[in-house]
Amino acid sequence: MFVSAFARRVAIRLCAPLSVLLFAAGAYNRIPDEVRYESGYINPVSKPADFTSAMLWGIAIADTREPGFQDATIEIAHTQLICRADGKDVILNDDSANVRGGLYPRHPWFGTDVHDPMPMVHSEDRDSVILRVGTHPDRVWHFWAASPRASLPKGHLEGCTVKARVRISHGALLQIGMDYWRNATVGYGRGGNNHEAGASDWYLPSDDWQEAVFTDGPSKH
C-alpha cells in the first residue's frame, strides 16, 4: 500500500501527544521531500581513526513551494568550527562575511560532484555575504569555510561544533554540518576521503539573525 511521505513522518510517533504530533508534522512539512536528511542527525559510525582533519559545511536552498521564492536569500555573517580534545576547545575555522562553495544538483540530491561556481555578493556594509538562492532554485547552494581545512587538535577528541550566524529570508532554508577528512590537504577524489559527522535540523526563515548550530559531541559551545 502506498503511504505518503507526510504520513510516514507523522507515524514515527504514534504514541506521542496530539500536540507533539501536530508540531512534528508542521515542522517536517516545511522541508522539501528531495532533501537527504529532513531532520538533524549524528552519524552513528565514528570518525575513522586515521582521519586527522575536519571542515564545516552548509546547505542553502530555495523553498520553491513558497510564493516569491525567486527573491529568497541567505546572509552569512560568521562561521566557526570548534573541536574539543582533552577538555580544551580549539578553533579550527573562524571566518567573517566569507565562504567558499558551489552549486550542486538538487534533483537528485547531490546526484554528482560536478558543480558550478557559487555566486555571492557582500552586503553594503560588508558585514555579511549574501547567497541569492532564489536565482538558482534548482540547485543546492553548498558552502564551506573560507579559511583552509585545518588539522584536528592532538589528544582525545570529544567532538566538534559548527556555528553560523545567519539570516534566512522568506522562501529559503538552511542546514549546517561538518565532515571529518583524511588530512588537511587531500581532495574529495572519488569519495572515501571524507566522513560526514552529521547535520543540524533545518533552520527556517526569520526576520532576525539566527545562530545555526551543529555538534557531534557532548559539549554545547
The verdict on 26 and 91 lying in the same domain is no
Number of folded domains that form the chain: 2
- Residue 121: CB partners within 8 Å, gap ≥ 6? 129, 130, 132
Residue 220 lies in a domain: no
Query: Domain check: are 141 and 103 in the same one?
Result: yes
Q: Quick one: 85 and 115 in the same domain? A: yes
The pTM is what? Answer: 0.85
Is 103 within a domain? yes
Are both 67 and 17 inside the same structural domain?
Answer: no
**174 & 117 share domain:** yes
Neighbours of 171 (CB within 10 A): 22
- In this structure, are 87 and 165 located in the same domain? yes
Query: Looking at the domain assignment, is residue 187 inside a domain?
Result: yes
Residue 102 neighbours by CB under 8 Å, 6+ apart? 115, 116, 117, 118, 142
In terms of domains, do 175 and 117 share one? yes
70 domain residue, yes or no = yes
Do residues 89 and 170 share a domain? yes
Evaluate whether residue 37 is within a structural domain. no
Domain, as residue range, for 115: 42-215
Give pLDDT tens digits along the chain (221 positions): 333 333 333 333 333 344 333 333 444 467 999 999 999 999 999 999 999 999 999 999 999 999 999 999 999 999 999 999 999 999 999 999 999 999 999 999 999 999 999 999 999 999 999 999 999 999 999 999 999 999 999 999 999 999 999 999 999 999 999 999 999 999 998 879 999 999 999 999 999 999 999 999 875 44
Instruction: Give the residue carrying C-alpha cell 582533519.
Output: 53
- The verdict on 2 and 108 lying in the same domain is no
Q: Are residues 15 and 89 in the same domain?
A: no
Asked if residue 35 is part of any domain, the answer here is no
Does 10 lie in the same domain as 63?
A: no
Determine, yes or no, domain membership for 188.
Answer: yes
Residue 24 sits in the same domain as residue 104: no
State the pLDDT at residue 218. 75
Residue 200 lies in a domain: yes
